[in-house]
Structure 1
Amino acid sequence: MEISYDVVVIGGGAAGLGGALALARARRSVLVIDAGEPRNAPAGHIHNYLGRAGTPPGELLAIGREEVTGYGGEIVTGTVTSADKVGDGEFRVTLADGRAVGARRLLVTTGLVDVLPPDIPGVAERWGRDVLHCPYCHGWELRDQPVGVLACSPLAVHQALMWGQWTDQVTLFLNDANEPTGEEYEQLAARGVAVIDGAVAGLEVRDDRLTGVRLRTGRVFPLAAVVVPPLFRARADFLATLGLATTEMEMAGHVIGTAVAADAMGATAVPGVWVAGNVADPKAQVIVAAGAGLTAAAALNADLIAEDTRLAVAGALSR
């Protein structure tokens, strides 16, 4: 190991930078390792972030990086392939290029991957632009415009009803799957949500802008955006070397993804390892992820202070 730090933060998004900032200000030696693949990169702006509404995601990260390094934190680009316990209170973090660094504690903020339905052409290419899932992120910008919800999961009715808060032009495309119950049909009708049978063949795009959905019958429905429910998969495979696995996350009895289990402060089942942001909470928006990074950093720093105190007392007694 070339260098050892008090804390290595794995992941440089809002949660990682939020945690690193607090730790650097606490005068801890901190290294942030970031693969440079932010989940929200396709989005034009961040919303619901008090004081930063409308900020481009890349700009927020640049501001955060400058703040972290301004307090003495270090940031490197790289992908972590494994993390191992190498002694009492010490971890080794190995990167894909062979580099390795040591750490007394780990803060994992690697986020998640949106696993999209593979059978609809164009969905992945337009994800985060006009193929969306979160009305709190994009609803205001699409207010009063036609929005289509693709029934790719049992939660499609829930999504259609939610989007109805922002626009009264919501259409649910059943896509030959996930037939609503009688009660759900009543709810959709009461909220003015149109329901369309038939399989979706693809998206209509003109001048790099989504214009509608095309059924296999050839019928086209004009739309400003399409809503697709992804499966949220935590980026945490490298933690397997520590014996830390992901668990399934459910909503209304349906699996919506995976996450690393942790307590309210971000501590995992492995002593010395904390998590924050979407790797632990798939539902967390950017401002929540940043706050979770701060919360985990404070708990982590308290743990280090307790260890430093024990070592100081042991050293005093041995003299």
Structure 2
Amino acid sequence: MEQAWDAIVVGGGPAGLSAALLLGRARRRVLLCDSGEHRNDRAVAMHGFLTRDGIPPGELRRLAREELRAYTGVRVADCRVVEARREESGFVVMLEGEAAPLRSRRLLLATGMVDELPDLPGLNAIWGRTAWHCPYCDGYERRDQPLAVHGEGRLGVKMALEVRSWSHDLVLCTGGSPIDGKDRRRLRELSIGLREERLVALEQEDGELRALRFADGGVLPRRGLFLAAPQRQRCELAERLGCSRTRKGMIRAGHDGGTEVPGLYVAGDTSPHVQLAIVAAAQGSMAAFALNAELLRDDLQAERRPMPA
């Protein structure tokens, strides 16, 4: 593998692929590293992506990789980045299983987030099919059907208020976490049911949710479940390099993905923006544009330097 790159992009989802595409069109030498772990791996389809509404996530990635083959400066490596450090000329990056380090003038992290799912028997069988984390992505297909939201406290209430746009047959399950009086009144006004007993199992058939089972023995028939689950960064590289997080746990970055670490950019769900695949792709392009503008300035300055006598 070549030892020096204009940019290394870490993450092979919509953000990383979009960044690599734009940088390839700018005639940059780009290495895209994809660990093979993606937040939407279990999803049946992606939605809200213009011209690709309903496409399986893996198919979108396959098509994007095919497009990248047209750009001779872009290489895709199925590997995990295990370490990165900043140096004067850019970044030194280590890949899992590789002894020799790679050097890159700029680094773009598009590693995404991980949903911290509750330990619910039956959830694994339906996750991505009839249980999800985003109503904008999957609510339309279950519109007007009996739905449930599972989440603690204010996080669960907020999700329930969102999901009500897709169905008025809705129940919020809090697992016993406290709900204040104002939120209780709001739920009651909107006819959103409230179940505070602990949820102990999800009854399913062939990946289709059928009912929720509670600790008191009660069973509630439902056709879809949205989880208001906490998230964490999939990768710690940004923090190791010196980035700080926002209050919500995202990497602190500007609108173009630039971070407080010179030459380091972030894009996609890992950054503080709306978490949609099409938004992640746009962020990848924005970060790549800003990154390339920096490289252009560096190149022009280098050309202006007088040659040594």
Equivalent pair of 1:112/1:282 in contact (CA under 8 Å):
no
Aligned pairs for 1:1-319 within 5 A: 2-72=2-72, 73-86=74-87, 88-99=88-99, 100-118=101-119, 120-179=120-179, 181-249=180-248, 258-281=249-272, 283-314=274-305, 316=306, 318=308
Distance 1:207 1:70, change over 3 A: same
- 8 Å CA contact 2:211–2:221 kept in 1: the answer is yes
Tell me how far 1:69 sits from its aligned partner: 2.1
- 1:90 deviates by 2.5
Taking structure 1 as reference, are residues 83 and 208 closer, same or farther at Cα in structure 2, changes over 3 Å only?
Answer: same
Q: Deviations over 1:34-68 (max 9, x none)?
A: 00111101111111111110111011101111112
Give, in angstroms, the shift of residue 240 of structure 1: 4.1
Is contact 1:112–1:278 with CA below 8 Å preserved after alignment?
yes
User: Could you tell me how far 1:289 is from its partner in structure 2?
Assistant: 0.3
**Alignment check: 8 A CA contact 1:152 1:228 kept:** no
Instruction: Describe the superposition over 1:234-282 as per-residue Cα deviations: whole angstroms up to 9, x where unpaired.
Output: 2231334422344431xxxxxxxx2211111111111011110011136
Equivalent position of 1:253 in the other structure: none
- Tell me, in whole angstroms, the C-alpha distance in 1 between the residues paired with 2:21 and 2:76: 11
- Return the offset for 1:196: 2.2
Aligned residues: 307
Contact 1:153 1:229 in 2 (8 A): no
Alpha-carbon distance in structure 1 between the residues aligned to 2:303 and 2:58: 42
- Does the CA contact (< 8 Å) of 2:266 and 2:287 recur in 1? yes
User: Per the alignment, do residues 64 and 227 of structure 1 end up closer, same or farther by CA in structure 2, a change over 3 Å counting?
Assistant: same
Q: State how far apart, in whole Å, the 1-side matches of 2:206 and 2:138 are.
A: 21
Q: Which runs of 5 or more structure 1 residues have no equivalent in the other structure?
A: 250-257
Q: Which runs of 4+ in 1 moved over 6 A?
A: none
CA contact (8 A) 1:46 1:57 kept: yes
- Distance in 2 of aligned mates of 1:234 and 1:283: 15
Q: What TM-score comes out, normalization by structure 2 length?
A: 0.94
- Further displaced range: 57-66 or 205-214: 205-214
Q: CA-atom RMSD, angstroms?
A: 1.7
Report the AA paired with residue 172 of structure 2: L
User: 1:98-127: per-residue Cα shift (whole Å, max 9, x none)?
Assistant: 343110100110111111223x32334532
More deviation in 95-104 or 220-229?
95-104
What is the letter of the counterpart of residue 202 of structure 1?
Answer: A
Instruction: Give the drift of 1:89.
Output: 1.9
Amino acid in structure 2 at the alignment position of 1:107: L
Instruction: Give the fraction of aligned pairs with identical amino acids, expressed as a percent.
Output: 37
Deviations 1:150-204 (A, max 9, x none): 233422112112111111110112321132x332222212222112232211111
Helix, strand or coil at the partner of 2:126? coil
Q: Write the distance in 2 (CA, Å) between the matches of 1:299 and 1:169.
A: 46
Structure 1 residues 49 and 194: CA distance shift in structure 2, 3 A: same
Instruction: Find the aligned partners of 1:125 and 1:93 in 2 and give their Cα distance.
Output: 37
Instruction: Provide the C-alpha distance between the structure 1 equivalents of 2:122 and 2:246, rounded to a whole number of angstroms.
Output: 30
CA distance in 1, matches of 2:109, 2:187: 41
Structure 2 counterpart of 1:37, one-letter code: E
- CA distances 1:295-316 after superposition (whole Å, capped 9, x unpaired): 00000000000000111111x4
Q: Which moved more, 1:185-194 or 1:162-171?
A: 185-194
Letter of the aligned partner of 1:281 in structure 2? P
Where structure 2 has 5 or more consecutive residues not aligned to the other structure, the ranges are: none
Residues 238 and 251 in structure 2, CA contact (< 8 A), matched pair in contact too: no
